[in-house]
Chains A and B, each alone.
Chain A
Amino acid sequence: MATQDIPRIMKHGRVTPWLYLLPALVVMSLFIVYPMINTIALSFSNSDGTASASTLCREGRACWGIFENYRYALTAELNFSSVGAFWSSFWSSSYGNTLKWIIFMVSGTVSIGLLFAVLADRVKYEALAKAILFMPMAISFVGAGVIWKFMYDYGTQQVQIGLLNAIITALGGDPVSWLSTVPLNTFMLIIVGIWIWTGFCMTVLSAAYKSVPDEILEAARVDGASEWTVFWRIIMPIILPTVTVVVTTMVINVLKLFDLVYVMTGGNFKTDVIANRMYTEINTNYNVGRGTAVAVILVLAIIPFVYFNIRRFLAQESMR
């Protein structure tokens, strides 16, 4: 009887799926597709989008024609005079810094998150421990940036108002300018990122950890497997799909990272990242062409991870 209430048009036909998709398609094309096409178009034009990027070419200078903005975005920060110079300029460029963020923040959040997920499972106050670890997630990035800017504050007076420097001077050490000392500063920023995101990784990984059937674990332990073996040989393989999803999600998050760097150093002192560079080019330098070229490069860098995540998701769906 119930099926008769459903109007025929919704049951089948070629048009039906499109009707369901329509709202999403409208929103997507207005807010994602159109801006994206516009961004790509702007990345091939001059600083205010009024002429082709090839008009930016000047005699006696390297130029990639219509791809001039991409030449700038990709090579301006790099020094090609020698291999050593290239490496050091790359490592302190926005690309090198983003790479540092990916390597250290993703490994940091996932490993610490996993560790806490496993350890918290074994204590009575699990809920409390997890709540504390998750709490930074509730703070906005800008807020966290401001908080940690105070933590890292470097005062010129005898009294240090920054917590870290207060501890160091209390122990008789010399205060450190955490945010302007290269290359320490990028890692100090990454610590803030880890502080914020570990809670997220822990929650997801904890859910996966709890879904590991007890029977298998018990069987392993009865067979005499050590906890170490149980973790690496049984738990890890079972939660591996979740771990990879968390890793790719984190990589995407880190690639888009902007707020922390903008608030804490403004991209100064060799801490610039790709997203902040895009902002600087557009909003400080009024170079919309160059800024959008950086944006397109960023999107291209993110696409493989999004693709991987979707593939993973589809594979999981089909298993059900």
Chain B
Amino acid sequence: MSKLSKILGLLVLVTLVLAACAAPETQAPATEAPTEAPMTEAPTAAPTEAPATQAPTEAPVAGEIDCKGAQSGDTVSLLYQWAGEEEARLTEILQPLVDACGIVLEPESTRDQGLLDTRVQAGTPPDVAFWNITQITQYQDQLIAMDTLGASQDSYIPGAIDSGVMDGKWLGLPVKSDIKTIIWYSPVNFEAFGYTPPTTWEELDALVEQMVADGNVPWSMGLESGDATGWTGSDFIQDILLVQQGPDYVMGLIDGSIAYSDAGVKQAYETYGKWAMDEKYAVGGAQGTLSTGFNPAILKVFSDPPEAMMVKQSGFAGGTVTAEYPDLQYGTDYDFFVVPGAKGLQGGSDWMMAFSDKPAVQALVTYLASEQGGANWAAAGFGLSPNKGAAGNFTDEALVKQAEAFYATEGFTPDIGDSIPGGFGSAEWKAIVDYLNGGDLDAALAEAAAVQAEATTK
């Protein structure tokens, strides 16, 4: 009979295991309790409030930080893709806020976007996420509007926040921006052959022909990037569109008023293809372009001997160069010029979005959108910032030059592929890859245009 009780015991165990599956719901209040405790403690915890009064005296330039009623010990969970040095810079930027308000940041770094998706779908999103513009589109129903959290649109350069506005609601702060409309080159090589950075598209075209005549390969075009292969090409083509058609045309492609199979797009593809598919113009011709990784492609311009004279790549390329060749100096060994003749710039931003409106989140948003937040962002050298407060505060030479173009631009266009939801991004890459691989251009563009039409018709 004692055996029977053992069986019963087993059964109880099984039900316990089953019950454990339902535990998350029952546990939720339990985990909330400890976070509430520090809140009630806060008023009595005078020492932690001391830094708040100290901060302004310590850093007079910093100005006031509005804590928005956040109490010392309040937590903010952050989710972002930065790690290592990049993460350290973000921490540095947020430190004044932490010191002033006593907010406890609970950061989590992951490259896995699936983690964010899962959390949002499970109803347990992070308070704040730093991610791409796509996520703002995707989560527009869950996100809290930035103006209600204390940010002001006036703090940003014109056009910078436009793509973060969904149905009239402003849902994200563009925090870290990168301009893509630039071409990197080696001043040493340019000098050796007597080339000068062009200032118009015609001059660029002439320079390219000159290089070919001299027996040099002008471009390093490699666009291999795993399952994202093609994005380097789509950046290049968008820059060509900015030269040939202008920013309004690009925005037309994004909102769907201009079909991706339009003659202007075809012209840009042909301009790009003429270079990318020919061994004389691009390293390795079509196959070299398709199978060379985008990072190795950058390095080919700075190798000894150089395989190519120029590479069109975003602002991050400078970092790639110094990571591989630490001795190279910006300005003398590697430098860049803005794609000549481009009307407007192409750029991307990492966006900050908020899933919670608690005081600590309000304080964070207010801080990052403030002049001081922008200034600290620029001083940390963590990419560009469209925050007006960042202007004039960059210290990194390459960033200073990029910022010059950034603030002077006549139009800021986001990446076409990132801005159209529903798979247009990968359809665009596929069109480029198919075209370079010998496919029919009209058919490739028609396929991408079909995806574009599907995504942009409401």
Contact = CB atoms under 8 A, between A and B. Distances in A.
Interface of A: 5, 7-10, 19, 22-23, 26, 30, 47-48, 58, 61, 154, 156-157, 177, 179-182, 262-263, 265-269, 276, 280-281, 283-287
Contact of B290 (A7, A30, A177): A177
Contact of B422 (A10, A47, A280): A47
> Does more than half of chain B's interface fall in helix, strand or loop, or is it mixed?
helix
B4 A157 contact: no
24 contacts: A7-B6, A7-B7, A8-B4, A26-B18, A47-B421, A58-B457, A154-B288, A156-B284, A156-B292, A157-B307, A177-B287, A182-B437, A266-B225, A266-B228, A268-B227, A268-B430, A269-B437, A283-B114, A284-B425, A285-B422, A285-B423, A285-B426, A286-B134, A286-B138
Interface in B371-411: none
B37 interface: no
Contacts of B7: 7, 9-10, 19
B229 to A, nearest CB: 5
A156 to B, nearest CB: 3
Nearest to B8: A9
A178 to B, nearest CB: 9
Interface in B113-163: 113-114, 117, 134, 138
Contacts of A22: 14
Please name the 8 residue pairs, one residue from A and one from B, whose CB atoms are nearest each other, closest first.
A285-B423, A266-B227, A156-B284, A177-B287, A7-B3, A156-B288, A180-B290, A156-B283
Which of B7, B117, B227, B437 has the most chain A CB within a 10 Å cutoff?
A: B227
B230 interface: yes
Nearest to B5: A7
Nearest to B443: A79
Interface in B1-15: 3-4, 6-7, 14
B226 interface: yes
Contacts of A182: 437-438
Given A268-B433, A280-B426, A30 B287 contact: no
A267 B291 contact: no
Contact of B291 (A47, A180, A263): A180
Contacts of A268: 227, 229-230, 429-430, 433
A180 B289 CA distance: 10
Contacts of B108: none
A269 B307 contact: no
B353 to A, nearest CB: 15
A262 B3 contact: no
A9 B4 contact: yes
B146 to A, nearest CB: 22
A286 B422 contact: yes
Contacts of B21: 30
Contacts of A19: 7
B454 interface: yes
Interface string B335-358: 000000000000000000000000
A30 B454 CA distance: 36
B300 interface: yes
A156 B307 contact: yes
B291 A266 contact: no
A46 B433 CA distance: 28
B227 A181 contact: no
Contacts of B117: 286
Nearest to B288: A156
Contact of B421 (A154, A283, A286): A286
Interface in B242-299: 283-284, 287-288, 290-292
B454 A154 contact: no
Contacts of A179: 291
Contacts of B229: 265-266, 268
Interface string B3-42: 1101100000010011001000000000000000000000
Nearest to B284: A156
Given A156-B292, A262-B226, 7 more contacts: A5-B3, A19-B7, A30-B21, A47-B422, A156-B284, A180-B437, A269-B437
Interface string B96-121: 00000000000000000110010000
A285 B138 CA distance: 11
Given A156-B300, A262-B227, A180 B422 contact: no
Nearest to A50: B141
B135 to A, nearest CB: 9
A269 B289 CA distance: 13
A287 B422 contact: yes
B287 A181 contact: yes
A285 B451 CA distance: 11
Contacts of B433: 268-269
Contacts of A61: 454
A269 B433 CA distance: 7
Which of B290, B291, B423 has the most chain A CB within a 10 Å cutoff?
A: B291
A48 B291 contact: no
A263 B114 CA distance: 18
Nearest to A6: B3
A286 B226 CA distance: 18
A180 B288 CA distance: 10
Contact of A26 (B4, B14, B287, B454): B14
A182 B21 CA distance: 49
Nearest to A85: B443
B224 to A, nearest CB: 8
Contacts of B134: 286
Given A23-B14, A156-B283, A266-B229, A287 B423 contact: yes
Given A154-B291, A181-B287, A284 B227 contact: yes
A276 B229 CA distance: 14
Contacts of B290: 177, 180, 269
Which of A10, A156, A263, A269 has the most chain B CB within a 10 Å cutoff?
A: A156
Contacts of B113: 283
Contacts of A281: 423
Contacts of B454: 58, 61
Contacts of A154: 284, 287-288, 291
A10 B8 CA distance: 12
A54 B291 CA distance: 40
A26 B13 CA distance: 13
B227 A267 contact: yes
Contacts of A177: 287-288, 290-291
Nearest to B429: A268
Nearest to B225: A266
B264 to A, nearest CB: 24
Nearest to A77: B447
A271 B432 CA distance: 16
Contacts of A181: 287
A171 to B, nearest CB: 19
B423 A284 contact: yes
Contacts of B438: 182
Contacts of A26: 14, 17-18
